[in-house]
Structure 1
Amino acid sequence: MHPDIQRYYSDVRRVAFSKPIPHVSAQCPDTISFYLATKDLVLESGWHWLGYLYNLPWADANIWRFANLCVRAERRLPGLGIRYINELAHLGGPERDEPRYEQMLQLFAEVFAIDRVLVMPWGDEAQFYFEPRGENGLRPEFRVVDKDDAYNFEVKSPSLLAHQRLRAAASVQLPVRITKEFTTSVQMKNPGALLPRDNPIKDFLVSADAKFSGFPRNSGANILVIVWDDFIYEPIGSLLSDFAGLLTNNSFHRLGGEAVIFENVDAVICVRHMNVFQEALAERPLPDDRTDMFDLSHNPFTPNVFIPTPWGNACPQFILESFGALMHNDKRLQTIAEYRIPEYIFYV
């Protein structure tokens, strides 16, 4: 294990973990060491959004699970788990600084997504790379080379706090672009109408496409993972709306009058998980029978969504299964409101 962790294997505080408690076991020496290392780094960083949880006399289930995922990352790719805990600690500083809170959520989204990649059934000789450098100098989040197949993953999550507040206050929402005339008509009667949150999705696609382009286009796949909150119709509509979806011929992102094609992106996975992190950090009950904030939903009505691009390589089923995702056109999703693409929403 990493030298920065070694001293924690003889830390006297380990005795507190010897008694059986639901999510902590003395049979997890590496996790205990990572937990204690993270605790020290966070509490030494000044005011931190997790300061209260790390000051508790017991180990909170959610940050204990963070330590556990750091261990798994470290074992697969030495240095990655250490990077995670250092990034978390560096978010200490000004009291209640919201940008740092959002950066923390984005870090958790990255840890969650990469862990879902790590637990996929790769071959024994699979090689893992964190932020590998492409021929163009750009670095996607993660790369797995499994025999003749190569899979690149880019993880994106937007800053949602301001949008969530606007959404909560809005009486009308326009989730997707339709026509300027339609938007103007709605805004005339509802000046505070919430407009589509599709520009971040476009930026995510542009960035991922550029990063993936630095690697040979062989067998395998390039996958963009977008971590959103429960209002999952927002990214789905941004991608697939018949009016202006970014993966359709009517895309609002155009060049020379033609829809821009993100030829290096084979699929997008939309993950409804940001609210899970927020609920966990507020010490509220987690939705969908989760045991901790990194757990997949156990509710068949809240799956994640897999969207292949019209031009992309096919992806193996185990990628969908690891993310708890259904194909976007799966019949099971058609009866669930959050997965349908509305033209507008009136809140009452």
Structure 2
Amino acid sequence: MEKSELVLYAIESDIIKKWHWFKYHFEFYSENREHPFAKSIIDSCLVCEDFIPGYAKKFIDDISQISGIDKKTNEKQSLKHYQQLFQRLAELLIIKQVVTYEWPENTKFFYEPTSGKSKKNPELVVELNKFKIGIEVKAPSLLDHIQKRNNNKIQATARNGLTDKFKENEEVTLPRDNPVKDFLISADQKYNSFKENEKCFYGILVIVWDDFIYEPITTLTDKFSGLFTQNSFAKNSNDETLKFENVDSVIIVRHLHQFGNAAGECPLINNCMDAMDFGSEGRSLPNVYVKNPASNGVPEGILECLRAYSPDEKMGAEYMPQDMVIWL
């Protein structure tokens, strides 16, 4: 597909025809100009198109449908759209990074596949000679949480006795951990049929967070309540700890803030070149790999692809679980 074709498809869509958070950025094309934010989206779609035919127009269709409601009409619904768009951008970011990695020859990619009778599907499955890797991408809604984090001096990051004392205190930011639990439940359900029907299948959940990466790390690994510990706050109806056995690992990518900065025409940080720049070894901050203790881990290739490492204190304080943060 030629870039001009995809650009025309975008400016004839509801991104332009209706109220849309990205309308301003894409309208530059109508004037024979190009906004860096829209360019990063269009260019990334075209890269993915080379590996997944039909992907580019489908992505434009997906984001164009999240339109029609501005803040003056319905602020709550409009902000929900804003965060849904970031979820789509997170998917694009990870899919582009995965398909462009130097996999062995004859590696195949399947977009939104299903397995068996199940209709539930992850974003992508990578098929290699001896095994398959499922990639499920999630991004949380953080606007309300960010506002509280910016305004409050105290942040409780894990569920423990201390957190319980803060529940009624509006001046304390409570853990944003339920989305991580929900993401794990969803991914576990999606990968169930793949695990049953494939000889060797690895299920990976990629969570795209903002720059405060200690938050999801704490949610997964905190010794008092971490979702990947025996003391997990996630229980079933029989009060048994949920194991999420179909999810072999979680990879956390610190990037949501880059989308916001790029869309708002603010400077990008951490040597990021544009909204869809995943970064590279030695130039960008590392991402995090958290193995599910109920699984056998994941192939090294996917960790290298996503620049993901087990959290270590040598990586910096933000890569370690925190009980509480006091902002000065």
Superposition TM-score, scaled by structure 2 size: 0.89
Which residue, out of 299, 303, 307, partners 1:316? 299
Is the contact between residue 220 and residue 313 of structure 1 (CA under 8 Å) also seen in structure 2?
Answer: no
- Give every structure 1 segment of 4 or more consecutive aligned residues whose post-TM-superposition deviation is greater than 4 Å: 298-301
1:293 aligns with 2:275: yes
Which residue, out of 227, 234, 239, partners 1:246? 227
Is the contact between residue 271 and residue 283 of structure 2 (CA under 8 Å) also seen in structure 1?
Answer: no
Which residue, out of 116, 127, 130, partners 1:148? 130
SS in 1 for 2:165: helix
1:96-126: CA deviations, max 9, x gaps? 4211111111110011111122112233322
More displaced, 129-138 or 242-251?
129-138
Q: Paired residue for 1:341?
A: 321
Which runs of no fewer than 5 residues in structure 1 stay unpaired?
Answer: 2-29
Q: Paired residue for 1:75?
A: 50
Which residue, out of 218, 241, 250, partners 1:237? 218
Is the contact between residue 9 and residue 57 of structure 2 (CA under 8 Å) also seen in structure 1?
Answer: no
- Shift of residue 272, structure 1, vs aligned partner: 0.7
1:1-348 pair list within 5 angstroms: 1=1, 30-42=2-14, 44-56=16-28, 57=31, 58-96=33-71, 97-135=78-116, 136-179=118-161, 182-186=162-166, 190-215=169-194, 216=197, 218-255=199-236, 256-297=238-279, 302-329=285-312, 331-333=313-315, 336-348=316-328
Q: Which is higher, the Rg of structure 1 or of structure 2?
A: 1
Is the contact between residue 139 and residue 207 of structure 2 (CA under 8 Å) also seen in structure 1?
Answer: yes
The 1:249–1:325 alpha-carbon spacing in structure 2 relative to 1, beyond 3 Å, is: same
Is the contact between residue 270 and residue 284 of structure 2 (CA under 8 Å) also seen in structure 1?
Answer: no
1:146-205: CA deviations, max 9, x gaps? 1221111111111111111111111211101112xx2343457x5421111111111100
Separation in 2 of the partners of 1:69 and 1:192? 41
Aligned length: 314
The 1:210–1:118 alpha-carbon spacing in structure 2 relative to 1, beyond 3 Å, is: same
Separation in 2 of the partners of 1:221 and 1:39? 39
Separation in 1 of the partners of 2:318 and 2:23? 34
Q: Which amino acid aligns with 1:54?
A: F
- Shift of residue 323, structure 1, vs aligned partner: 1.6
The 1:160–1:185 alpha-carbon spacing in structure 2 relative to 1, beyond 3 Å, is: closer
Separation in 1 of the partners of 2:304 and 2:55? 24
SS in 2 for 1:103: helix
1:197-248: CA deviations, max 9, x gaps? 1111111001100100011353241100001111111111000001110011
The 1:172–1:263 alpha-carbon spacing in structure 2 relative to 1, beyond 3 Å, is: same
Separation in 2 of the partners of 1:223 and 1:43? 32
Separation in 2 of the partners of 1:43 and 1:99? 16
SS in 2 for 1:268: strand
The 1:121–1:214 alpha-carbon spacing in structure 2 relative to 1, beyond 3 Å, is: same
Separation in 1 of the partners of 2:15 and 2:276? 22
Separation in 1 of the partners of 2:137 and 2:170? 34
SS in 2 for 1:154: strand
Q: Which amino acid aligns with 1:338?
A: E
Which runs of no fewer than 5 residues in structure 2 stay unpaired?
Answer: 72-77
SS in 1 for 2:53: coil
SS in 1 for 2:208: strand
Tell me the C-alpha RMSD between the 2 structures: 2.0
Separation in 1 of the partners of 2:262 and 2:156? 29
Is the contact between residue 220 and residue 315 of structure 1 (CA under 8 Å) also seen in structure 2?
Answer: no
Q: Which amino acid aligns with 1:212?
A: Y
Separation in 2 of the partners of 1:133 and 1:80? 17
SS in 2 for 1:197: coil
Separation in 2 of the partners of 1:130 and 1:63? 23
